[in-house]
Amino acid sequence: MNLILQPGNARTPVALDQLIESRLLALAARQRIEEATVRLYDDREGSPRFQASILIRVPGPDIHAVACDHTLRVAVQKVLNAIEAQVDARQRQRRQRGRSQLSHSAAARTGRTW
């Protein structure tokens, strides 16, 4: 997995970088990840002030999420939770498709009547 961290104009403490890296590595153990791009923004004029976005390149459609909050750490945690929820939903759908196809007889699955 190639991890790209783009802090933008936000100052990121080392502990936050480690949190991002550890959570994405744990996610990579469940889902093959080609590349993960993490962007952090600090909008001093805005409310909420901090924004975090993650784009993950995986086989199939890419996964992305954006979250905002008043602290950078909470914004990062929100966006990581959203990414993990999307990966979990895809894995659930994949399992459901596999089970529904196996529940049919072989004739129904292949279209053969003999």
User: Whole-structure pTM over 0.85, yes or no?
Assistant: no
pLDDT bucket at 101, cuts 50 / 70 / 90: low
Q: Name all domains of the chain by residue range, CATH numbers in brackets.
A: 2-103 (3.30.160.100)
* Position 44 confidence tier, pLDDT thresholds 50, 70, 90: confident
* Residue-by-residue DSSP string for 14-66: HHHHHHHHHHHHHHHHHS--SEEEEEEEE-TTSSS-EEEEEEEE-SSS-EEEE
Residues 32-42 have pLDDT tens digits of: 999 999 999 99
* pLDDT greater at residue 38 or residue 44: 38
Helix (H, G, I), strand (E, B) or coil at 3: strand
